[in-house]
Amino acid sequence: MEALALEARGIAKRFGDKRAVDGVSLAVPAGTIFGLLGPNGAGKTTTLRTLLGIIDPDEGAVRLLGSPRPLTRAREVGYLPEERGLYPNMTPRESIAFMGALRGLPLAEGRRRAGELLEEAGLGSAAAKPIRTLSKGMAQTVQLLGTIVHRPRLIVLDEPFSGLDALNQGRLEGMIRAQAEAGVTVIFSTHVIAHAERLCERIAIIAGGRVRFAGTVDEARGRLAPRVRLVTRATDGVWTSALPAGTAREDGAWSFDLPPGGIEPLLRRLLDGEVGIEALSIERPSLHDAFVQIAGAAAVEGMGRPAPAAVLEEAA
């Protein structure tokens, strides 16, 4: 059986009359990058805090790093909450060492590791400057380094990309990949679909406090057929009857789902009809398309848009 870093079964949490988490079940394999994806207000933060043992569930059970009592594994976990917080007069080196000390890392070792991490992140020159003098992106990087300085087995990041510019988003993506390559399990929540699509092996789509889908990104995309875009010189004729049901004409092109039998039988009909094929492309459904199909169009409202991928790749 696949080793799990985290498992939740039917967890629920109420605040007054509001059921913020409603029967959530998750299984996160060790060593993977796992995304908790959903719009603002979907219940992602409450779910993460319940999984970590910060708040107790009203129903259900959690097993974290093999333990049914998540807080007993706190020293093996790095957690970056959505609400950022650093002491403005502390230096990055001391801030990182302090955060490590909260997880049991000796201060002297924390300072040594902090210096190395800051150099690797390109912030070596800022190691002794007060936090208040740093940019928002630099300060957020410092807090992330404090989250990993004690070398946890599991890293949990709540909306880590929020408020970052394209350059710092790319750097953060690179740091997440580096941790996963080192064998660390990474769980992060996000309302930006493209971050999950680029980084995650597995995802859970959550809306209204419920998990609407859990599985691999490919499994989510596989719920939709690939989309075919066809451009022909001819636009009318008997051959149009060969086009699948539901075909639409948009911007001078025919658009339809890839037929179950593949594109070849249709191509033969079109060639026999001498329609003059000028362009043909088969586009795989995006995670955004799958999200809409799974969670509904209303859940997409408020979902953020990321920086251009080319900028992020350059930064990473």
For the cut 50, the answer to whether the pLDDT of residue 41 exceeds it is: yes
315: pLDDT confidence band, cut at 50, 70 and 90? Answer: very low
CB contact at 8 A, 95 and 142: yes
Helix segments in the chain, DSSP class H: 44-51, 92-101, 107-120, 136-148, 166-181, 193-199, 217-221, 264-272, 287-295, 297-300, 309-315
For the cut 50, the answer to whether the pLDDT of residue 307 exceeds it is: no
Q: What is the pLDDT of residues 139-173, one digit of tens each?
A: 989 999 999 999 999 999 999 988 788 888 888 89
Amino acid at 99: M
Any idea which architecture 4-221 has in CATH? Answer: 3-Layer(aba) Sandwich (3.40)
Closest CA to 310 of 147, 184, 160, 198: 198
2: pLDDT confidence band, cut at 50, 70 and 90? Answer: low
Q: What is the pLDDT of residues 192-220, one digit of tens each?
A: 888 899 999 999 999 889 999 999 999 99
For the cut 60, the answer to whether the pLDDT of residue 308 exceeds it is: no
Q: Write down the pTM of the prediction.
A: 0.83
What is d(CA 118, CA 91) in angstroms, rounded to the nearest whole number?
Answer: 11
Bridge-based pairing state of the strands 202-207 and 33-37: parallel
Bridge-based pairing state of the strands 210-216 and 227-232: unpaired
What's the pLDDT at 304?
Answer: 54
Q: Two tokens at 111?
A: 């300072």
What's the pLDDT at 294?
Answer: 86
What is d(CA 173, CA 199) in angstroms, rounded to the nearest whole number?
Answer: 7
Q: Which residue has the higher pLDDT, 303 or 4?
A: 4
Mean pLDDT of the chain: 89
Bridge-based pairing state of the strands 77-80 and 18-29: unpaired
% pLDDT > 90, the chain:
61
CB contact at 8 A, 38 and 207: yes
What's the pLDDT at 316?
Answer: 46
What's the pLDDT at 108?
Answer: 97
Phi and psi (nearest 5°) for 232? -125, 150
For the cut 70, the answer to whether the pLDDT of residue 306 exceeds it is: no
Residues 6+ apart with CB under 8 A from 153: 5, 30, 65, 76, 77, 184, 185
What is d(CA 178, CA 181) in angstroms, rounded to the nearest whole number?
Answer: 5
Q: What is the pLDDT of residues 266-293, one digit of tens each?
A: 998 888 888 999 999 999 888 888 888 8
Residue 145 class from Cβ within 10 Å (0-12 exposed, 13-18 middle, 19+ buried)?
buried
What is d(CA 132, CA 212) in angstroms, rounded to the nearest whole number?
Answer: 41
Q: What is the domain partition of the chain in residue ranges?
A: 4-221, 227-284
CB neighbour burial string for 101-112, b if at least 16 within 10 angstroms, e if fewer: bebebeeeebbe
Q: What is the pLDDT of residues 5-31, one digit of tens each?
A: 999 999 999 999 899 999 999 999 999
Q: How many residues does the chain have?
A: 316
Q: Which residue has the higher pLDDT, 274 or 36?
A: 36
CB contact at 8 A, 293 and 223: yes
Give the pLDDT mean for 80-94. 91
CB contact at 8 A, 91 and 131: yes
